Amino acid sequence: MARTREFKLTTTLLIALAISSIVVEAKPFHHFKDHLPVKLGLAGAPVAPGGEAVFVITNYGAKPDGKSDSSMSFQKAWKDACNSNGPARVVVPAGTFKTGEIIFTGPCTAAPITFEVQGTMLGSEDVSMYSQNQWITIEHVNNVIVTGPGTLDGLGASTWKLKDDSFGGGVRLPDSLVFFASNNSVAQNFASVNSKGFHIKVLQSVNVTVQNVTITAPGDSPNTDGVHVSRSENVNVLDSTIGTGDDCVSIGAGNTNVTVARIVCGPGHGLSVGSLGKWQDETDLRGVTVTNCTLTNTTNGARIKSYRQSPSLSASGIIFDDLVMNGGSNVKLSDIHFRNIRGTSLTNVAVTLNCSSTFPCEGVELVDIDLSYAGAPSQDSLPVQSACQNVKPTVSGIMNPPACPAR
Ligand SMILES: *[C@@H]1O[C@H](CO)[C@@H](O)[C@H](O)[C@H]1NC(C)=O
Ligand SMILES: *[C@@H]1O[C@H](CO)[C@@H](O)[C@H](O)[C@H]1NC(C)=O
Ligand SMILES: *[C@@H]1O[C@H](CO)[C@@H](O)[C@H](O)[C@H]1NC(C)=O
Ligand SMILES: *[C@@H]1O[C@H](CO)[C@@H](O)[C@H](O)[C@H]1NC(C)=O
Ligand SMILES: *[C@@H]1O[C@H](CO)[C@@H](O)[C@H](O)[C@H]1NC(C)=O
Ligand SMILES: *[C@@H]1O[C@H](CO)[C@@H](O)[C@H](O)[C@H]1NC(C)=O
Ligand SMILES: *[C@@H]1O[C@H](CO)[C@@H](O)[C@H](O)[C@H]1NC(C)=O
């Protein structure tokens, strides 16, 4: 396999599959156990089943009324957990708790530290409360487990309009949950809805897994990416259902070894590698595997986005495997390996490999692509076909429609 073949990304490079609108049922996840039977002591005194110290935010004054600002209670509970020894757990019990910015920072003597959200957290609509444009930040602390079964509700709806051109556009809105310089951490088993900015962001971290999260925002909400990963290593995004107004998962520059598997994605833009070349100081991207994902009603499918000419930036070893795409009209895929892509196309041009003339795509492999036409009857007479520019993919297996004409 030519998995390691290097590939220079410059200017615009698109490989597009245009596909249609079947609704597919999400496959059930295999079940894994997360919950320890935590007992809470009277008056919230930390008790330790299996040696775990437990800190309940209501014992720090947090009010489950959905109105009071409980930010300080979260900070204090974290501080005590962080400064304890052995495993620790901060618990958000049932109820609705509103906060502004929360920063869980290290270094900590406790490890691991679990942040368990049983109820619902609301992120204040007042964007001036977020000094770093982030709602819940886990930073400079390793071995943190954020878990549910509760919900992080960013209350984004009232803030998305700040993105409108009439408000100057380009305003950065707070991301809901950010891991920054946090190694060996996990986000699992919770729901995230209506983030103002991104839902989950993994930045400059090593060995992070996001698993079994349900992420939801309206299809027309701006920049509400589900999971964004950048400058990180060994990151897994698994077994999750993500539908937002932007990318379900976006893998930025400077990452090594990112695996995205078993994601049910849509609506939204799709699964995206990039944007690359947007910022001057970006570093290369190596090793992204996207497998067993289903994309329904996404505008772009799976793709690589690149911006300005950045000849020193490279993306290598990118594999798209076993993707099912349903719905959406402009599925852009780019880079190297596309295998087992099945679905239906809304237009008669099913596969578009669109590379720049100055830097043609190299090392593009297509294996087993089977897309049939399911668009409007008026176009039915036209055969489904592929369109290619500046690329000579190697092709094997089923190829329906036939891959780009040999040139
Ligand atoms: C996935 O997370 C949900 C809460 O969002 C939880 O109820 C469910 O048990 C989790 N599934 C597994 C397999 O852990
Ligand atoms: C995480 O790992 C990286 C790479 O090994 C290291 O540079 C960084 O200091 C670690 N972060 C923490 C908070 O320990
Ligand atoms: C990442 O995980 C591997 C395997 O468990 C471990 O050897 C390595 O030390 C971890 N990296 C960091 C920065 O903690
Ligand atoms: C596709 O997404 C759009 C925008 O979110 C929505 O209006 C439409 O109903 C969706 N179609 C399907 C088939 O889910
Ligand atoms: C890539 O990451 C996965 C899980 O995060 C890890 O198991 C694997 O060893 C990593 N591969 C390399 C080459 O580091
Ligand atoms: C993808 O699905 C196939 C068949 O369902 C399975 O054999 C394979 O292990 C899966 N791969 C991943 C990475 O989940
Ligand atoms: C292919 O790229 C060229 C130049 O970047 C652009 O004009 C054209 O619209 C693209 N075609 C498709 C199908 O995206």
Closest residue (by CA) to atom 12 of ligand 4? 297
Ligand 7 pocket, mutate which of 9, 13, 14 (most atoms under 8 A from CB): 14
Q: Which atom of ligand 4 is nearest to the CA of 297?
A: 1
Instruction: Compute the residue count for the chain.
Output: 407
pTM: 0.79
CA of 183 from ligand 4 middle (Å) equals: 37
Q: Quote the CA–CA distance of 372 and 387 in Å, as a whole number.
A: 15
Q: Is 269 a catalytic residue?
A: yes
CA of 114 from ligand 1 middle (Å) equals: 16
| Of 220, 217, 165, 227, nearest in space to 196 by CA | 217
Q: What is the pLDDT of residue 394?
A: 81
Indicate if ligand 7 lies below 6 Å from the C-beta of 400: no
Question: In the chain, what are the domain boundaries?
Answer: 12-23+38-159+172-400
Q: Which atom of ligand 5 is nearest to the CA of 209?
A: 5
Q: What is the pLDDT of residue 293?
A: 83
Please give the CATH superfamily to which domain 12-23+38-159+172-400 belongs.
Single-stranded right-handed beta-helix, Pectin lyase-like (2.160.20.10)
| Of 130, 295, 138, nearest in space to 196 by CA | 130
How does pLDDT run across 52-88, given as a tens digit for each residue? Answer: 999 999 999 999 999 999 999 999 999 999 999 999 9
Could you say which of 35, 140, 199, 269 is catalytic?
A: 269
Q: Which atom of ligand 3 is nearest to the CA of 184?
A: 14
pLDDT averaged per 10 residues, the chain (length 407): 30 30 26 36 48 96 98 98 97 98 98 98 96 96 98 96 63 94 98 98 98 96 95 97 95 90 89 65 72 76 54 57 50 51 55 58 71 56 60 79 60
Q: What is the pLDDT of residue 382?
A: 52
Indicate if ligand 6 lies below 6 Å from the C-beta of 322: yes
How does pLDDT run across 301-333, given as a tens digit for each residue? Answer: 666 655 444 444 555 556 666 656 554 433 333
Q: What is the pLDDT of residue 282?
A: 63
Q: What is the pLDDT of residue 274?
A: 64
Q: Give φ, ψ of 131 to 5 degrees.
A: -70, -25
Place of tokens 């089923």: 398
Cβ atoms within 10 Å of 405's Cβ, excluding its own: 9
CA of 297 from ligand 4 middle (Å) equals: 6
Q: Give φ, ψ of 370 to 5 degrees.
A: -135, 100
Indicate if ligand 6 lies below 6 Å from the C-beta of 284: no
* Residues 165, 166, 172: CA angle, nearest 5 degrees: 55
Closest residue (by CA) to atom 9 of ligand 7? 354
